[in-house]
């Protein structure tokens, strides 16, 4: 697949930014600088970036408890995002959202979401609004393999077909729900077929390969945007960290993580494909690495010095008053 150079540079920069944002977040949690419960996306970057590179600011996404990657891929600025994780009033949600509730409505980021399969129903609502307004936008929900066992997900998929709305369900199969492998949790052999049985096309992607996800998501998004109703993307992927930061991962097989990092790394895959095609040089990619490292460093320095919300601001921006009807 051949893409414009600008697109290739951006895709790599986004994946690298997510990787470094997550690795640094891990370090800052372990040294006690960031409080709260955090789930890292490292290893799954190609999914978020492959999907979001098909979207505009006006399209919407709804994310999960493992949401940093989706939010960065959709265009959130890294510095206010890091400030949000540090609980600062200069954060994207003024320090009141934290890791699991990052939102940026102007960028079409309706929010991360701590409820497994909480995203698909919200995205059907957004998609219905888009259909009614005839604005040609699509609504994406990202969710994990665990979500495809939840009733809310089934209801959302069914309703999306009935209403014929432009919703795209992106299922990221990283093989685990918390500490349980899909082998123990899923009662069918083929999750893709289960999803498809709701009556919409599902496009399969290799979640360690940006190009594979970009292509599959492109087909699903085109289908939804054309007015043909919902579509799905099913990506096989792997998370490099535990379910949450601090998870000792006793449930993993010996060597599983080393194997994932070695053989299923989207950044390594992207570099290998650029080396083969010659479209980007390794020096150009190294320059992006340096740029990203500097940005992440700056984000942490700024976040550490940023103010916290004041006690009297605790209820501000939490409730909305819609006024009299
Ligand atoms: C409705 C609901 N049930 C249980 C939980 C607790 N919980 C949080 S994450 C998680 C596993 C989710 O697995 P998956 O959907 O595969 O996403 P992944 O963590 O693999 O990205 C569970 C059970 C929850 N947050 N919401």
Q: Rounded CA gap, 103 and 106, in Å?
A: 9
Sheet holding 167-173, edge to edge: 60-62, 139-144, 167-173, 231-236, 202-206
The first and second tokens of residue 98, run together, are 């934290």
pLDDT tens digits for 1-54?
Answer: 889 999 999 999 999 999 999 999 999 999 999 999 999 999 999 999 999 999
Residue of 55, 51, 84 whose CA lies nearest to 69: 51
Q: Rounded CA gap, 197 and 26, in Å?
A: 39
Nearest CA, atom 12, ligand 1 = 177
pLDDT tens digits for 200-234?
Answer: 999 999 999 999 999 999 999 999 999 999 999 99
50 contacts 212 by C-beta, under 8 angstroms: yes
Q: Rounded CA gap, 73 and 60, in Å?
A: 12
Span from the CA of 150 to the centroid of ligand 1 (angstroms): 10
SS3 content of the chain, % helix, strand, coil (to 5): 50, 10, 40
Span from the CA of 174 to the centroid of ligand 1 (angstroms): 12
In terms of DSSP bridges, do strands 139-144 and 167-173 run parallel, antiparallel, or are they unpaired? parallel
Span from the CA of 291 to the centroid of ligand 1 (angstroms): 34
Where does the pLDDT of residue 151 fall: very low under 50, low under 70, confident under 90, or very high at 90 and above?
very high
Supply the pLDDT for residue 2. Answer: 87
Look at residue 90 and tell me whether its pLDDT is greater than 80.
yes
Look at residue 178 and tell me whether its pLDDT is greater than 80.
yes
Look at residue 132 and tell me whether its pLDDT is greater than 90.
yes
Supply the pLDDT for residue 325. Answer: 61
Surface-to-core class of residue 65, CB atoms within 10 Å of its CB (0-12 exposed, 13-18 middle, 19+ buried) = buried
Ligand 1 atom nearest to 174, measured from its CA: 20
User: Using N-to-C axis directions, what is the helix angle for 266-277 and 282-305, rounded to 10°?
Assistant: 150
State if pTM tops 0.95: yes
Surface-to-core class of residue 252, CB atoms within 10 Å of its CB (0-12 exposed, 13-18 middle, 19+ buried) = middle
Residue of 168, 141, 172 whose CA lies nearest to 231: 168
Return the sign of the alpha-carbon dihedral for residues 204, 141, 257, 273: positive
Q: pLDDT above 70 covers what percent of the chain?
A: 99
Span from the CA of 265 to the centroid of ligand 1 (angstroms): 23
Pocket of ligand 1 (CB under 6 A): 65-66, 114-116, 143-147, 174, 176-178, 243
pLDDT tens digits for 230-245?
Answer: 999 999 999 999 999 9
pLDDT tens digits for 266-290?
Answer: 999 999 999 999 999 999 999 999 9
Nearest CA, atom 6, ligand 1 = 116
């Amino acid at each position: 697949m051949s893409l414009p150079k600008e697109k290739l540079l951006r895709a790599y920069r986004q994946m690298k930014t997510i990787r470094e944002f997550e690795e640094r977040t891990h370090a800052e949690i372990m040294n006690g600088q960031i409080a709260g419960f955090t789930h890292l996306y490292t290893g799954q970057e190609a999914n978020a970036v492959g999907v979001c590179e098909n979207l505009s600011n006006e399209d919407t996404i709804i994310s999960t408890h493992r949401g940093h990657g989706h939010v960065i891929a959709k265009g959130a600025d890294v510095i206010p995002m890091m400030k949000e994780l540090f609980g600062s009033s200069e954060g994207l949600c003024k320090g009141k959202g934290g890791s699991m509730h990052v939102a940026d409505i102007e960028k079409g980021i309706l929010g991360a979401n701590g409820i497994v399969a909480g995203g698909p129903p919200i995205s059907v609502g957004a998609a219905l609004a888009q259909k009614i307004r005839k604005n040609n936008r699509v609504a994406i929900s990202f969710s994990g393999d665990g979500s495809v066992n939840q009733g809310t997900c089934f209801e959302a998929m069914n309703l999306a077909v009935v209403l014929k709305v432009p919703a795209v369900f992106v299922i990221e199969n990283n093989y685990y729900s918390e500490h349980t492998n899909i082998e123990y949790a899923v009662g069918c052999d083929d999750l893709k077929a289960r999803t498809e049985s709701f009556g919409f096309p599902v496009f399969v992607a290799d979640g360690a390969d940006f190009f594979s996800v970009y292509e599959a998501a492109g087909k699903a998004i085109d289908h939804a945007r054309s007015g043909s109703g919902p579509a799905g993307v099913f990506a096989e992927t792997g998370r490099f960290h535990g379910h949450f930061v601090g998870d000792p991962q006793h449930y993993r097989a010996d060597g599983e993580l080393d194997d994932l990092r070695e053989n299923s790394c989207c950044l390594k895959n992207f570099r290998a494909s650029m080396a083969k095609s010659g479209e980007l040089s390794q020096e150009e990619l190294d320059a992006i690495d340096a740029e990203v490292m500097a940005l992440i460093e700056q984000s942490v320095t700024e976040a550490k010095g940023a103010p916290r919300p004041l006690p009297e601001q605790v209820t501000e921006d939490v409730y909305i008053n819609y006024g009299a009807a």
